[in-house]
Amino acid sequence: MGFRLDLSGTYKWPVTVEIPVDNGRHERQKFDGEFKRITQSRIREIGQSIESGEITDVDLCKEVFVNWEGIEDDEGKEIKFSQAKLKQLLDVPMVATAISKAFFDSIAGAKRKN
């Protein structure tokens, strides 16, 4: 199979969040995130902005995170993605960091395979 230059504008990648629970433990919770494909030059700009402290994990998530699957309410019902729900999700400690890590893992994984 040849290289496809025209890929879809997004792709799905697993996100794992370590949530603190009782007795000094963490619980791993997972969902699938959908990320916007961005250019290599934008990836470089983001990396430089993170290093200089110009943008945070939350800022990155707002730019590249566009949908999810597997996020549920207390009753186990799937929560539909919206900007308001994204804001609520990103306010949960450790979530923005986990999403950012998943995004960079997805890029690093592609680089390792080459």
What is the percent of the chain with per-residue pLDDT over 90, rounded to a whole number?
Answer: 86
The answer to whether residues 17 and 95 touch, using CB atoms and an 8 Å cutoff, is yes
Q: Determine the pLDDT at residue 10.
A: 95
What is the total count of domains within the chain?
A: 1
Angle at 33 between CA 58 and CA 28, to 5 degrees: 85
What mean pLDDT, rounded, does the chain reach? 92
Look at residue 90 and tell me if it is in a domain: yes
pLDDT band of residue 114 (cuts 50, 70, 90) is very low
pLDDT band of residue 111 (cuts 50, 70, 90) is very low
Q: pLDDT for 35-89, tens place per residue?
A: 999 999 999 999 999 999 999 999 999 999 999 999 999 999 999 999 999 999 9
The answer to whether residues 10 and 32 touch, using CB atoms and an 8 Å cutoff, is no
Look at residue 112 and tell me if it is in a domain: no
Look at residue 96 and tell me if it is in a domain: yes
Look at residue 3 and tell me if it is in a domain: no
Provide the residue range defining the domain that includes 28: 10-106
Higher pLDDT, 5 or 26: 26
Look at residue 71 and tell me if it is in a domain: yes
Alpha helices in 39-94 (DSSP H): 40-51, 57-64, 83-90
pLDDT of 1 over the 80 cut:
no
pLDDT of 98 over the 50 cut:
yes
